[in-house]
Structure 1
Amino acid sequence: MFSKIMVPVDLRHEEQLTKSLDVVAKLAKVYGSKVVFVGVSLAAPTEISRNPEEYKAKLALFTQEQSDLHNIDAESHPIFSVDPTADLNKKLLDAIDEIGADLILMATHIPNVSDYIFANHGNYISDHADISVFLVRG
């Protein structure tokens, strides 16, 4: 049913991804899907990496750890942006076609007051993607 599952990840909040990582691993095993972990970062230094090469290496390490832990076929897809906060939704939508994903699985949070003023990324992606989107709370 799903051959390639795109999973946006924020390496700054890796501890909050556990539930969604477990769900994607189970789906990947059931459908024999490849999982593509997508990370969007600045090319400039951040708290995660000093440069694009270091970010690519950290995302690749994260991907390998998930692949080994869950015994899934996975690859990483780093994306760089001048302003990830402003560009994140567009970059993620563009990545769908770049990697040929047929499902997006995203971690999300329980809605709060600010979500009524500022749309969260999961809602935006589910409203604008032309493929299925699976939002995992928690």
Structure 2
Amino acid sequence: MYRRILLPIDLGHVASNDKVISIAVEMARHWQGEIHAVTVVPPISSMVAPYLPQSVEMDTVHDVEARLTDLLKASIPDDIKVSLRVVEGAVYHEILHEAKKWQADVIVIASHKPELGDYLLGSNAAKVVRHAPMSVFVVRL
């Protein structure tokens, strides 16, 4: 049923990753599926970019990709097929774009307990749930 599992990972919230990864692994095992992990890097502000070396953006993506690779190697057993991608942009938009592009059956996403700002602006997980054309499994932390 859920053979293509998109797993958005926020490397800034290390504590949440173990729980959401373990659930994605169990889903992949249950349905003989595969996991596609994605991390979104915010774009560098156009106000700051002229003052930074041109390689900063590429170096950042490579660093994030290495951190994501290490996390997945440590957290996902070898019997589960896994791929990864680091993209740049707005978090919820890029998650939805990657899910459609990869033709995911389900998105497994972590979500913290709502705070005041989330009620006013909405969390990334809430936006993904609201706009995703496929099932979304929200892991409450």
Range class of TM-score, shorter chain: 0.7 to 0.9
Quick check: 1:54 aligned with 2:63? yes
Which letter maps to 1:100? Q
Using the size of structure 2 for normalisation, the TM-score is 0.81
Quick check: 1:78 aligned with 2:86? yes
Between the aligned partners of 1:53 and 1:105, the Cα distance in structure 2 is 24
Structural RMSD (CA): 2.1
Moved over 6 A (4+): none
Quick check: 1:36 aligned with 2:44? no
Q: Which has the larger radius of gyration?
A: 2
Give the aligned length.
130
Percent identity, aligned pairs only? 22
Aligned-residue offset at 1:67: 2.2
The secondary structure found in structure 2 opposite 1:17 is: helix
Q: Unpaired segments of 5 or more residues in structure 1?
A: 82-86
Which letter maps to 1:52? V
> After superposition, where does 1:85-100 map in structure 2 within 5 Å?
87-100=90-103
Q: Unpaired segments of 5 or more residues in structure 2?
A: 45-55
Between the aligned partners of 2:42 and 2:120, the Cα distance in structure 1 is 25
> After superposition, where does 1:11-22 map in structure 2 within 5 Å?
11-22=11-22
Using the size of structure 1 for normalisation, the TM-score is 0.83
